[in-house]
Each structure stands twice: as structure tokens, then as C-alpha cells.
Structure 1
Amino acid sequence: MTILKPIRAAAGGLILLAACGVAAPANAQAAANVAASEWTIGPIINGRNHSRGMPLQPTPGRNGAWHIDLPQAPGSVHYVTFRHGSLAGKSRIVMRYRIEAAPGVRISPRGYPQWEALLTPYFQRRGDNWSAAGRFETYRWYGTFASKPMQRGEHVIVAPLTANWTALERSTAHGNSAAFRDALAHADEVGFVLGGGDGYGHGAFASGRARLVVTEFRVE
């Protein structure tokens, strides 16, 4: 079960956001320009990939960069993650990226073409069962304080792991610090989500040709 969360959209107005998740296996690696082949465009839940019309992995580029060509509707990109392992002792996530698109091309949340999509840093605790029920409500965490509208140009996201991250329903890192510490210690997937409209990770699409180029992603 997912509970909708109200937030203020970049273009103004109150909309509802919910969280959705992604799964994968565990190998603890430090992330500094993790190879494109290590990333997954998902989430894959019960054998179904919720990113529609997309390859499983990003396309490698030069100097460790990689890119995703954003689809047009009905395609969408939801979660982009890799297997990092525990975040214990880590202090922040840093992401540098650019969005390439022709003037007038809009990147919107799936089902909400009138809004701008958001990009949000994310991590998931190992062993999530996707229910968001009971203790599993605190297995997926979103750096909503660092969300950025998906607009053309160069961008940097810095998401301290001491900030007030948001879980699936009502929990926050500051309000439920024990659960957040446990999630950091037992983290598995790390990355970012695209969405807006009715969910931070509920997907985004472009109205024309658009590319998301990640030039750096570090867990420090």
C-alpha cells in the first residue's frame, strides 16, 4: 500500500506524491562514476519493469559519463539505481548531470503533462518487500529536500545523509531517526528517481527528444 503525499509542484499548485520502489542484489562498492553497466533503469518488481520502453541500463559515454534518452509517452523512466551496499559512515550523495533538449521540449511526470518532472536522490534498505506496511514503511528513502525540476542545462545535487529524508508514508529521518540509521546501515540500492504528479518515483517522459547525461555520481 502507498500513501499519497502532498507537495508543492515547481510550477505552483498542490499535487499528490507517493513513493514506489525498486529491488536488486548486494555488493558493497563505493560510488564514484559507477560504470553504466552497474546501473539499472527500473524498478523491477515481481519480474515487471515499471520503466516502460526503456533499455535495462544507461548508455556509456566518455570519461565515465553515461546517459539516458528520455522516452516520449507512453514510455517513462522511474528509478535509476545501482547496488552500493551499506551507507554507514557516509556523509552525502553528490550528483552532477545535465539535461539536453531542444527549446520547448518539456519533461513531465507520467500522467501529468502540465507539470514539470522532478529528479530526487534515493536509497533503499536491503530486504524490502514492497508493501510499505509496518516496518517496511521505512525501507525506501527520498531526498525530497534536494529534488530539482527537470530543466535544460547543467545541474548539481548535494544530498547530505544528515538531512531530513522522507520515507514512504509519514516517517522522516529526523522524526524516526532509529529507522533511518538502520536503513543507512543496511542500505542496498542507491541512485535517483524521476516523477512528480502522483509520485516522486512514478516516472517521467519527454514531449520531444531529450537526454539525461550523468557526469558524476558519488557517495562520500
Structure 2
Amino acid sequence: MKRPALTFAIPALCLATASVAVAEMPAAAQWDIGPWVRGRNYSVGMPAHPTPGANGSVSFAFPRTGSGEIDAMTTAVYPLDGAQQLTMRYRIDAPAGTRFVPSENPEQTATVSLYFQRARDTWTAKGKYASYRWYVPARAVIPLAPGEHTVTVRFDERWTNVNGQPNSSDPAGFRASLRDTSQIGIAFGWMGRRSHGVHATGPARFTLLDLDIR
């Protein structure tokens, strides 16, 4: 049977308990702005979900300096073990002179990138849990800047785990995460800490136009 181009897991409604695979990007309500870890949302001053937009897009306004930060936006996804690549297309709207600032390290360049997360991650990054989240290669970590952008990453490239170890150092952990994937995430931070928060010095908006897994 032909694998669908997209394998997002959308929770079924009403009395059904299973998820369904759909060949379209999840709606805004299926995306979470977070992450939530042990009752704390690390995206401060942000709504729980992005806003729906035209043609199935979803978007949010970057928090302004002093009012919070955006760490990540995530959605449920089926296991990625049969997928070959992941492509994100997005747009950033901001007036000239607006800067994007990593909350932890303001002197660094603010970035956006992708990651995927294995089910039942404890967020401790200790022991086997260091390989429960995998981040894209450095070449796919993109500085935040106005305009429309597209990035494609193959799953046979050099992904790194929470501690910066490449998948070649823990191939079993990488394969296990692909077989047991629960989330895809869009991370905002800087090269050293991919998902540790960004804010903007002026009005700015991030719009996810498409996320394609195939």
C-alpha cells in the first residue's frame, strides 16, 4: 500500500479513540505552542495554539521583548521510520529593523529549526532519554529573517540528539525514535540551544505554510 505523503496523527473526535492519517497539514487546533514540561509551559506569554490562516496555514505573533518568548510549536505525528525527508515552508512578516533575539543568549543569531520526539520522553535528557529528541543538521538551522523560506531535511542526514551527539553515535536510539515518533516540533532559539526561546523587538509574525513528510 502506498504510504501517504503526510502522516500526521489527528485525534479522533466524539467516541472514537484511534487517530487517523490525513494527507494535509494539521489545523491550528492540532498544533500546541510550548512545550509543556511537568506543568510548565516554556513558551511564555503565548496562546495555547496558533491561529488558522489562508489555505490551511497556521501562524502566531512573536512575543515582543519583555513580554515572553516562543520556544516551540508541535503536533502529533505517526512513526517516521518509513519516511525519507521532511520539508517545511514558512513565511516571516516583520517591518524593517525588527530583530529576533534568543532569550537565553541575546548576542547570538535567533534561529528556527525542526526536531522530532519519541513517545514517553521524560525531558530529562539523561541516559536513554538523551536520544528521545532529534534535531536537524546544522545546515538546516535557519536564521530568523523576513520573507518566505523552504528547508528540506533527509532522515539519512546527520541529526543530533539532545546532548549534541550525532545519530552515527547512537544509531539504535535514532532508529528507535523513528519507529516510535510521537511529535514533530518547530524550534525557536539559537544554534547552541535550538528550542530555548526567541522574542522580537517589533511586531512580527511566523506563518507555517506547509509541512511535508514523505
TM-score between the two structures when normalised by the length of structure 2: 0.86
Name stretches of at least 5 consecutive residues in structure 1 with no aligned partner.
1-24
Aligned counterpart in structure 1 of residue 202 of structure 2, from 189, 199, 208: 208
Q: Which amino acid in the other structure matches residue 183 of structure 2?
A: E
AA aligned to 1:67 is S
1:78 counterpart = 2:71: yes
Which stretches in structure 2 are left out of the alignment for 5+ residues? 1-10, 12-17
- Evaluate the alpha carbon distance shift between residue 93 and residue 49 of structure 1 in structure 2; reply closer, same or farther with a 3 A threshold: same
Which of the pair has more CA radius of gyration? 2
Partner residue in 1 for 2:169: 175
Instruction: Indicate the residue corresponding to 1:40 in structure 2.
Output: 32
Measured against aligned partners, the alpha-carbon deviations of 1:124-156 in whole angstroms (never above 9, x if no partner) come to 000111111111110011103311000111100
Deviation at 1:171, TM superposition (A): 2.4
1:123 correspondence with 2:116: yes
* Among candidates 82, 93, 96, match of residue 100 of structure 1: 93
Residue 85 (structure 1) shift: 2.3
Does the 8 Å contact 1:109/1:196 carry over to 2? Answer: yes
Whether contact under 8 Å (1:52, 1:77) holds in the other structure is yes
Code of the residue aligned with 1:39 in structure 2: it is W
Number of the residue aligned with 1:66: 58
Q: CA RMSD in A?
A: 1.7
Query: 2-side partners of 1:27 and 1:73: how far apart?
Result: 38
Amino acid at match of 1:171: Q
How far apart are residue 96 of structure 1 and its match? 0.4
How far apart, in 2, do the equivalents of 1:170 and 1:135 lie?
A: 14
1:182, distance to aligned residue in structure 2 (A):
0.5
Residue 159 in structure 1 maps to residue 153 in structure 2: yes
Contact in 1 for aligned 2:80/2:179 (Cα 8 Å):
yes
Amino acid at match of 1:191: G
Contact 1:110–1:197 under 8 Å retained in 2:
no
- Equivalents in 1 of 2:31, 2:145: separation in Å? 23
SS in 2 for 1:136: helix
Deviation at 1:32, TM superposition (A): 3.2
Question: Number of residues paired by the alignment?
Answer: 196
- Which 4+ runs in 1 deviate beyond 3 A? 25-32
Q: Distance in 1 between matches of 2:172 and 2:23?
A: 25
**Structure 2 partner of 1:87:** 80
